[in-house]
Structure 1
């Protein structure tokens, strides 16, 4: 029986595919990625990658943002009632529980990982020794490919530029041809090939790295989000209006989110710390990410 595609044309280019299929290369992810529905609550973090990925997941599965993680606390949206099994962390390197993530979460190859995390760097066993072979794309890009959210060949240049700027995906195209970056360039080419994102090759051939840096700066893509103390609502310096104008089919609204309580962590390092020999040397981890080859960031329970 032939699969029927219900394609909803978008006013700014591209279309959203309204049928339920995910890419075959995601079959190594935990089974829950195929079982999401509107009863799930998402944990939003403080940057554009998480915001964009949440918007994609909400569009696909009709679920909602129920929490906000700012690395010091988790804030719960007022009125939310759920269980751990129904929560998905988005762009978060949590040590347990469901998550969509793109961080490197191992220091050495034998470190334990979260078995419920949908993370290509777990699938490909990325750690300190092969750090530059990591998946260098964003969580948002991974989610959009997984669930076939766009026909990338029909997206406008602005739409492609936004996707390329999220988590600096474009950087993979401009790594210097030196010994340290041979693995990174090869991993980037593999990502383009496996995800069938050849449309970006033409864009990167026409642009320079500075073009993406300027685009992100001009259009306010580098900002963050935080909870205001006075009214427990989110504030941001990300230019959400611009993102909305380019992806009007997605919901980026956060101003309605009202938080009524939070759970604070005992410790969180905003600056990268030198990594020990193993992640097991760090007690009571809630999140962990190897953000440089020899450095990490973490939140301690």
Structure 2
């Protein structure tokens, strides 16, 4: 079924069925704050939510923010007053948009407030190759029915974020099928699938380098910066009405987390490895990354890690 050509009316029906199974808070008129993470997938996703919902970035979660690459940093602004939504952040509890696989087995708890195609498709470490292999940006682009960029480079930028194009060019046909399945049948973004068909892999690599889309977001004394070429990217996306920029607000250290990466061995469930992580994701079928709050830090140690 996945590898076959599917009529457009069936694709639309599947997209509607997908939306029916999502938690409904994404349609709320309620004001939420956003938690930004450290890359363009999160930042552009936040820009979408600011445009569509008027939700603002009031927190930032930066992975491996210390010199030893072992501490994750959560910063918060002085104007953060609302319930927070993680953006491209696999929260174990609470509202978030995400694209990671977060369960080792189907018996593991899932976050029922998370909007993530991997939960809709019941993807775990056991069937990891069936995972949603696209970006959080594309998930939100479909969810809020945004216009496709008019320029070819604009389309390519969307496909390059979080390396969404890579599965289309994979040597494994199943990954190719998953690319088409999620892009066309679930998200209904057929124009972007056709864009992949018009280009070679090296052209997307060029887009990545041209706009520095693999750049990171960093904090210096609470002020965010990045080497991502946001202005050039925004020009290519101008007709969509989305404008992507870093918040100018200053972020104050709120919490620190241990950044932990462990191989998965034997028959362990998630609960066997970690009790209550802040966020958790399988970066490979048998490799788990999670952030666990540091609760016994003295003030001097915290100050040194700012």
State the TM-score, normalized to the length of structure 1.
0.83
* Structure 1 position 81, deviation (Å): 2.0
Over the aligned positions, Cα root-mean-square deviation in angstroms equals 1.7
**Deviation at 1:292?**
0.8
Instruction: Count the aligned residue pairs.
Output: 265
Provide the C-alpha distance between the structure 1 equivalents of 2:120 and 2:105, rounded to a whole number of angstroms.
15
Kept after mapping to 1: 8 A contact 2:57/2:247 = no
Aligned match of 1:188: 179
Q: Matches of 2:184 and 2:230 in 1, distance apart?
A: 30
Q: 1:251 deviation in Å?
A: 3.1
Once the 2 structures are TM-superposed, how far is the Cα of residue 156 of structure 1 from its aligned partner?
1.4
Cα shift readout 1:259-289 (whole Å, capped 9, x = no counterpart): 1332112x113xx531242111212311100
Q: 1:23–1:46: structure 2 CA closer, same or farther, 3 Å change rule? A: farther
Using the TM superposition, give the Cα deviation of residue 255 of structure 1 relative to its aligned residue in structure 2, in angstroms: 4.8
> 2:27 — aligned with what?
34
2:228 aligns with 238
Q: Does 1:197 align with 2:177?
A: no
Say which of 167, 171, 175 aligns to 2:170.
175
Residue matched to 2:262: 273
Is the Cα–Cα contact under 8 Å of residues 73 and 253 in structure 2 kept in the other structure? no
1:250 partner SS: coil
Query: What do residues 143-200 of structure 1 show as CA deviations (whole Å, max 9, x unaligned)?
Result: 01011011x3x62101111100011110121111xxxx34322221211322222222
**The structure with more helix, counted as a fraction of residues:** 2
Q: Could you tell me how far apart the structure 2 residues matched to 1:54 and 1:27 are?
A: 23
Aligned to 1:164: 159
Moved more, 255-264 or 119-128: 255-264
Long gaps (5+) in structure 1? 1-21
CA contact (8 A) 1:23 1:147 kept: no
Task: Report the equivalent of 1:283.
Answer: 275
Which of the residues 128, 150, 155 maps onto 2:150? 155
- Partner residue in 1 for 2:97: 100
